[in-house]
Amino acid sequence: MPVSLPPISRRRFLTHVIAGTATVIVAPDLLAGEQNRDPRRFALFSDTHIAGDRNTVSRATNMAANLSQVVDEALGLSPSPAAVLVSGDCAFTRGQAADYDTLSQLVKPLHAADLPIHFALGNHDNRARFLDVIKKGHPHSTPVAGKYITIVESPLADWFLLDSLDQTNKTPGVLGAAQLKWLDATLAQRTKKPALVMVHHNPDPRPKPSGLVETKELLALLVKHPRVKTLFFGHSHHWDVRRHQKLHLVNLPAVAYVFAKGEPNGWVDAKLRADGMRLCLNCIDKQHPKHGQIVDLNWPT
């Protein structure tokens, strides 16, 4: 369930509702006057797994320390990104209120720097507690009952943040027929720019998936719309970029811990251009052999 914290200054981002959906507009004319702010650049985080106690360690990893590091790195970018997008599993395991209280404190430097952060929830999140802590006092709107969807419009592409949270602490993710129907209709209506889709759960076509239950349905829908160029996801704590027909699939690394030895954890610096996107992997461990890896995605014609 994507949920957004707006920037302190409303001059930089405009927010309105289109067909019941919270739509955040990256306004280049407003950003043009801001020093070191690039409306084509986005910082991509996933799987932060923040616990209420900042000292919590899991799989030999202090998750709060990792998030603090990547927040500082995103703030240190020049030019600065237009926003930070987080693809889910914000909380440690069961989405406790204390987890979200600590999360809100850890991302406060982004908010203080007037840098918006948009969250999608994963299977270790709890929708009600997240809304109560993170979104308290911030109105939200949704076109699909029980699912919260955000569109972030930027000059070169529109980001669609979907909601695959089904049950807290139950591994598989579910979009649901209503959300898929909405996505199909909305993509058909909004055809002027490339579309980039983000969801927490990874494509998983197995009969008993641990990722997205409707993998086949979602991929078929996205391929049907040529304007959709890339699907971003997390969940598997794995960094990978591959193709499904003409669709790019980007598995974002976890900010928190890794599942397999040798995997990188960290975040991705994404820079849009008219015909594609450049991704740069920023590892927590700067000595990791994949730190600084560049991947260029080209939009097929």
Domain boundaries, the chain: 3-298
Q: Which of 23-48 are b and which e, b meaning 16 or more Cβ less than 10 Å from the residue's Cβ?
A: bbbbbeebbeeeeebbbbbbbbbbbb
Taking only the tens place, the pLDDT of each residue in 125-140 is 998 899 889 877 566 6
- Do 150 and 1 contact (CB within 8 A), yes or no? no
Task: List beta partners, residue 250.
Answer: 232, 241
CA dist 199 and 186 (Å) reads: 16
Look at residue 280 in the predicted model and tell me its pLDDT.
98
CATH number of 3-298: 3.60.21.10
Taking only the tens place, the pLDDT of each residue in 59-91 is 999 999 999 999 999 999 999 999 999 999 999
Q: Which positions of the chain have pLDDT values less than 70? A: 1-22, 27-35, 137-140
Task: List beta partners, residue 5.
Answer: 117
pTM to 2 decimals? 0.93
Token representation of residue 158: 């529109």
DSSP string, 34-58: STTEEEEEEEEE----B-SSTT-EE
As a whole number of Å, the CA-based R_g of the chain is 17
Look at residue 145 in the predicted model and tell me its pLDDT.
87
